[in-house]
Structure 1
Amino acid sequence: MIQDISPCRVDHAYRETAPTLDDCVFSFRGDEVLLREREDGCRSLPSFRDLQYPAEEMLRQAVFLFRVDKEPVFLLDGTAPGCRGLRYFPVCGLKGILPGWAFFAGVTALHLNHWYERNRYCGRCGSVMEKKMGQRALACPDCRNTVYPCIAPVVMVAVINGDKLLMTKYAGRSLPQWVLISGFVETGETLEEAAEREVFEETGIRIRDLQYFGSQPWGFSDSVIAGYTARLDGPDEICLDRKELAEAEWHLRSRLPDELTDISIAHEMIESLRL
């Protein structure tokens, strides 16, 4: 999965850390990320030295993100100036570049960048928010409103019917592959209740024997995904919610379609159920 970067380790604890010229920095323009590109086409993560920032500007715009193997990683508050050898690329362009943790770190940085961008102003009084010392939080200097990073919980369910697995395709999306049922958790729901609701709402199927599989941070949608397996409880006839799904079918577990990527928990769940 995208977070599997062993032997490297991300330390997410917030620290008041000043950047140095050689520290890695992420900069985003929408959902594009700034990368250093050599003449031979090889790409890598930029440092503050590549940005050619004066020291005072670097300190003003750098936001501490996390550490990877004790090395600090920063976010640039705003887009970078045009510099030779630096270009913005789609975030998925991080996959396969060095260091090996770049993709996971970049998607996590994207999640935090979304949060910082959406909370520049206080949602209560409209004042400019300020970074709170000593913790990952933004505080309003006028009304004292404090906000913390938003993480939207998602459940994903693999429903098993003997030698078959229930798979779906989203409605109104460009994703061509078969996927597992998933959806956001509603306020006041447990994860288990959300799993049962999502399966029934989207396919009319009832489930039993819900078992936790694992979890995954998914910064593309500012989410954390909790994966479950479950067994069919009752008739296997599908009643499709066409607002959510284009298709839903029972697939033989010996002939499951291949995932387009191996970075997701969906891939791990499907492969674990393949016969």
Structure 2
Amino acid sequence: MIQDIAPHQFDNAYYPVAPDRHCIALCYESRACLMKKTEEEFIFPRFADLENENEGIYKNYTFLFRIDEERYYLVTNVCYSHLKDYSMEDISYFRSAEPQYRAFAGITGHQLFGWYNSHRYCGACGLPMKPDSKERMMYCEKCHSMEYPKICPAVIIGVTDGNRLLLSKYAGRIYKKYALLAGYTEIGETLEETVEREVFEEVGLKIKNIRYYKSQPWAFSGTILMGFYCDLDGPDEIRLDQEELALAEWFEREEIPVTPSRDSLTNEMIMQFKKGKI
């Protein structure tokens, strides 16, 4: 999966030290990230690439994380027109980009970019928020409100019936490939209750034997994904929620129309079943 970057090591501890010329600058605009692409790989700009055209870049920055010994920083409102080989690319590129550890850095940085951007002002009194100097937190000097990064829990659900697996396609989304059922956990319910509720809401099926498989940080939607398998309990007739899904179908293990990819928990769970490991 995209976060499996060994032998590289991701360190998200908060070290708000000043960047030097060799540190990596992550620059985003909405759902796009600044990078230089070649046939073999892609790279991010370093502070040295941006310093001449961006006065104050060493003052206006946000420390993000480290991978190995390299420090990554968020910088905003930068001029990059002088970087002729660089361009803004949609963050969906990170799903298959190489090297993988750099792709993981890019999408994780984008999740933090979104959080900082949506917490510039206090939700209680409306005044500007300020970053804390010791931990990743934004605070309000007037009402003392504190905001920490929020991560939304969501479940990925592999519904099985003997040698069959239920696959679906989302309605109204850019992603058009087969996927598993999924949904966000609501306040007051357990993860297992989320699994049961989402299956019934989306396809009208009852299930049993809910069992946990694995988790994954999924920065594309700002979630922590938790994978579960479960068994059909009763009739297999699908009643589709057409607002959520374009279709849902049962597939025999040997006929599952999905091939391996490196990025997602969903793909790994489908392939585990297809290979007979589940």
The amino acid of 1:184's aligned partner reads Y
The amino acid of 2:67's aligned partner reads V
Report 1:138-157 matches (<5 A).
138-157=138-157
1:203-238 per-position Cα deviation (integer Å, ceiling 9, x unaligned): 111111111111111111111100001111111111
How much does 1:90 deviate?
A: 1.4
Aligned to 1:245: 245
How much does 1:150 deviate?
A: 1.6
Aligned to 1:226: 226
Name the TM-score, length of structure 2 as normaliser: 0.92
Larger mean Cα displacement after TM superposition, 251-260 or 262-271: 251-260
Is the Cα–Cα contact under 8 Å of residues 259 and 271 in structure 2 kept in the other structure? no
Is the Cα–Cα contact under 8 Å of residues 171 and 244 in structure 2 kept in the other structure? yes
How much does 1:242 deviate?
A: 1.2
Unaligned residue ranges in structure 2 (runs of 5+): none
The amino acid of 2:97's aligned partner reads G
Return the alpha-carbon distance in structure 1 between the equivalents of residues 176 and 260 of structure 2.
Answer: 9
Large movers: runs of 4+ above 4 Å? 53-56
CA separation of 1:81 and 1:106: change in aligned 2, threshold 3 A: same
Does 2:76 align with 1:77? Answer: yes
Larger mean Cα displacement after TM superposition, 184-193 or 260-269: 260-269
Is the Cα–Cα contact under 8 Å of residues 63 and 77 in structure 1 kept in the other structure? no
% identical equivalent positions: 37
Unaligned residue ranges in structure 1 (runs of 5+): none
Is the Cα–Cα contact under 8 Å of residues 42 and 97 in structure 2 kept in the other structure? no
Report 1:13-162 matches (<5 A).
13-37=13-37, 43-53=42-52, 57-85=56-84, 86-94=86-94, 95-98=96-99, 100-162=100-162
CA separation of 1:202 and 1:22: change in aligned 2, threshold 3 A: same
What is the count of residue pairs matched by the alignment?
273
Is the Cα–Cα contact under 8 Å of residues 92 and 103 in structure 1 kept in the other structure? no
SS where residue 197 of structure 1 aligns?
helix
1:241-267 per-position Cα deviation (integer Å, ceiling 9, x unaligned): 111111111111111011584300011
CA separation of 1:53 and 1:118: change in aligned 2, threshold 3 A: farther
CA separation of 1:78 and 1:222: change in aligned 2, threshold 3 A: farther
Is the Cα–Cα contact under 8 Å of residues 11 and 70 in structure 1 kept in the other structure? no
CA separation of 1:250 and 1:132: change in aligned 2, threshold 3 A: same
Is the Cα–Cα contact under 8 Å of residues 51 and 57 in structure 2 kept in the other structure? no
1:188-215 per-position Cα deviation (integer Å, ceiling 9, x unaligned): 1111111111011101111111111111
SS where residue 155 of structure 1 aligns?
strand
The amino acid of 1:256's aligned partner reads I
